[in-house]
Amino acid sequence: MLIKTKVIVLSKLKYRDNDLIVKCFTSHRGVVSYLLRGVLNSKKGQSKIAYFQLLSQLQVEESYRENQSLQTIKDLRLDYSFTSLHTNILKSSIVMFLAEVLASVLREEEKNEQLYDYLETTFRWLDTKDEFSNFHLLFLLNLTKHLGFYPDTTDTNQMYFNLNNGLFESKKEDVYSISGENLTILKQLLGINFDALESIKLNSKQRQSFLAMLLLYFELHLGSFKKPKSLQIFNQVFN
pLDDT digit string (tens) for 52-65?
A: 999 999 999 999 88
How far apart CA 125 and CA 80 sit, in angstroms, is 12
pLDDT at residue 59, as a whole number: 97
Same domain? 149 vs 94 = yes
Whether residue 219 is predicted with pLDDT greater than 70 in this model: the reply is yes
Mean pLDDT of 125-151: 97
pLDDT: which is higher, 238 or 90: 90
Mean pLDDT of 38-49: 71
| Residue span of the structural domain in which 128 resides | 84-239
For residue 60, give the CATH number of its domain. 2.40.50.140
Same domain? 73 vs 98 = no
Residues 6 or more apart whose CB falls under 8 angstroms from that of 16 comprise none
Question: Quick check: 118 and 8 in contact, CB under 8 A?
Answer: no
pLDDT at residue 39, as a whole number: 80
pTM comes to 0.95
Q: Domain boundary residue among 36, 59, 81? A: 81
